[in-house]
Amino acid sequence: MALKKTSPKKGLIKRFLLGTEDDLKNEEAPDEKFFEMQGGKILKTPADLIGALKVMTSEQFDHHTKQGRNDFANWLWFVFDEKKLADKIFKTKTQSETLRILEKHYV
């Protein structure tokens, strides 16, 4: 998945206009930056990612997080400008820990 880096200024403006973390959880990515999971499911928002983590198989999770990469962290970093959150997610090793961090951040 190739992503273009968004402007940090744009991310700050979005946060100012949207206001709360809960609003950011439901912020939709631009069409060309939707996340396509292994198996074809499309994620549009961080809330979609939270829901997907609750039901995805361990094989799907491993596909997106093995070999020194973390597609979920990259998506949060480059599409939603969630750098601190993405750093935390990148360091996780398990699906449950990833879900816990996301839920804590957005709730």
User: What pLDDT, in 10s, does the model give residues 4-62?
Assistant: 444 444 554 444 445 555 566 788 998 899 999 999 999 999 999 999 999 999 999 99
Do residues 41 and 52 touch, judged by C-beta distance below 8 A? Answer: yes
Q: Is residue 73 in a domain?
A: yes
What is the model's pTM?
0.77
Q: Is residue 11 in a domain?
A: no
When divided into structural domains, the chain yields a total of 1
Residue 66 neighbours by CB distance under 10 Å: 10
Q: Is residue 30 in a domain?
A: no
Do residues 21 and 102 touch, judged by C-beta distance below 8 A? Answer: no
